[in-house]
Amino acid sequence: MKKRLVLVFTFVAINLGSGCSQVPTSNLAQVDTPIILAKAELEEKPNNPLEEGLENLNKLDKSFNSIVFFLAKVAIILLSLILIQRIILLIAFRTSQLVIDNFTNASGAEGMDFVLPGLSQLGREKLVREMKGVHQRLKEHIPVSGLRTYRPPDKLSLPQSTPDERLSSLVASLNEFTPDQIDPLVSLLKILFPAYGTKVTSILQSQGEDYRRLGITFEITDIEGRIASRLYTIWEETETQTVIKTLPKTESKTVTDQEIELELPIIESYPELKDRYRALLKPATRWLALELSRREMLANVPWYYLGNWCKRYQAQIHNFFGVINYASAPTHGSFFYQLAIEDLEAAIELDPNWYQPYENLGDTYRTQGRESQETAKINRQRQGILQYEKALARCEDETVRRRIKVGKAMAQLLTKDQILVQEAQIEIQLLEKQWNPESELSPRFLYNLASWYAIFTAQNHGDEQTKQKARHYLVYALLRDRDRNLWDWASKDPDFQAVRERFTDFQFVLMKKLNEAPELPEITGERFAKHAGDILNQMSWI
């Protein structure tokens, strides 16, 4: 038993001793191992300066690349912002373009090819001046018309020979650098924001083998295709006759011992074609300026104008351009009368109950008749009388009716029909009995009344009494004309040929009086009559 106990105790003691001896040994191994490894690494690591330098250079290269990539990203961002800004500016500040192609020569005259560049540039220059005049006239007309909703552009589109393709070029360049997935989106910019405006093609024309009549054809198209194209040719008013010169030439031929002298004809046109085309630019650019302005106004009819409102607005546009065409005829060519008639008839078709186009059409027929042949002259005056009667049937304002009656009386006077002339005299006498001239503020009515007396004076071989009345009412009309639109017209109006003496001096006296009394256009009564009398006395017209 004792032996068994000793064996058990000995076994336990041995196991405990071995367990205790293993614990500290394992702790020492865990603590000392990393120290030994670190020392080993230190011992194995070479201490070479060349390798250290290469390693430092490698680190520096990596840092430099990082900086370069960062700066490149910043530059790309800045360029992208600039590009976006450029696109926004091109889209936001797009303006209506006016592209006027250089003239092309279809006249058959080979010598004209050399002057086409200069002729094209001269045409653009004249067009700018004409457009400024129309623009100014439009600004003056808008406040007193039904076109108040129209806002004419502050700056006119200057004619250019080539269209502005900056946005299209930019989009094309972007397509080359952007990923294929974005290309359709970039191309949409051209579709969503296309160029807009008007393109004009100009062609030189001629009629006859000897270029007896020259013309300029304009084809006007809308760049976006929203408005129908217009094709029109402006021809010379009269045919230019060919001048034939004969130059003597002596040929020494012995025919029965006599010397025969031959005359050789030389055919040439006078003046030269280039000078005739330059002269034709005046009416041509006038027509083009009016047509471009008309198209712009018709394209900008307010969207909320529907039905009869829209028709009335369009009628006012046609009536406005009918009046400008009528006023352009004496200075730019008689074909403007026909253009005026077409515009006024379009206004009547759009608004048949409006009196004003009828009155303006009567004025046009009456003035055109003055420049026509005898038979056509009477027919034109009769057409004018009919239009005045239609205007009277539609007008309720008594002040306007008086003006229309005077216009009708003028047309009746120009027919030289005794019955119609007598009716006109009675009408004028009735108007003067029921009316005070010193209180009349309408310059157009006073001007028409002066015209009537001036025509009557011419037909009665300078009757002094009617001549004084014509001058009397002319002074009243021009004093009332605050905007002085009638001043220039009166200087070349054929109606005043019999009473218009020293007209330049007359204008000077008027200007001097208006500078002394600038309130004259608005005052009435005896004070106005006194100032008008002073002018008549200075001119010795009474």
pLDDT of residue 46: 52
**Cα gap 436→112, rounded to integer Å:** 61
What mean pLDDT is reported for the chain? Answer: 79
The most confident of 123-137, 184-198, 265-279, by mean pLDDT: 123-137
pLDDT of residue 37: 43
**Cα gap 190→91, rounded to integer Å:** 10
Span of 147-156, 299-308, 435-444 with lowest mean pLDDT: 147-156
Confidence of residue 36 (pLDDT cuts 50, 70, 90): very low
Whether residue 473 contacts residue 479, with contact meaning beta carbons closer than 8 Å, is answered with: no
H helices present in 416-525, as ranges: 418-433, 443-459, 464-480, 485-492, 503-516
Q: What is the CA radius of gyration of the chain?
A: 46
Confidence of residue 33 (pLDDT cuts 50, 70, 90): very low
pLDDT of residue 313: 87
Which of the two residues, 482 and 248, has the higher pLDDT score? 482
Which of the two residues, 454 and 60, has the higher pLDDT score? 454
**Cα gap 107→109, rounded to integer Å:** 5
Which of the two residues, 404 and 43, has the higher pLDDT score? 404
Residue 284 has which token pair? 């041509």
Task: Tell me if the pTM is above 0.85.
Answer: no
pLDDT of residue 107: 87
Taken in order 124, 125, 131, 135, the sign of the CA dihedral is: positive
pLDDT at 404 over 80: yes
If phi > 0 it is left, if psi is from -120 to 50 it is alpha, else beta; for residue 197 that is: left
Span of 28-42, 452-466, 476-490 with lowest mean pLDDT: 28-42
Residue 185 has which token pair? 């989106």
pLDDT of residue 144: 60
CB atoms within 10 A of CB 45: 8
Confidence of residue 53 (pLDDT cuts 50, 70, 90): confident
pLDDT at 65 over 90: no
Count helices and strands in the chain by DSSP H and E runs: 17, 7
pLDDT of residue 6: 40
pLDDT of residue 110: 81
pLDDT tens digits for 350-376?
A: 999 999 999 999 999 999 988 877 778
Give the mean pLDDT of 211-234.
Answer: 87
pLDDT tens digits for 235-280?
A: 998 755 444 344 444 444 443 333 333 344 443 444 788 899 999 9
Backbone angles phi, psi at 246, to 5 degrees: -120, 125
Taken in order 414, 418, 423, 428, the sign of the CA dihedral is: positive
pLDDT of residue 14: 42
User: What count of residues does the chain have?
Assistant: 542
Span of 41-50, 164-173, 209-218 with lowest mean pLDDT: 41-50
List of residues 6+ apart from 298 with CB closer than 8 A: 227, 314, 317
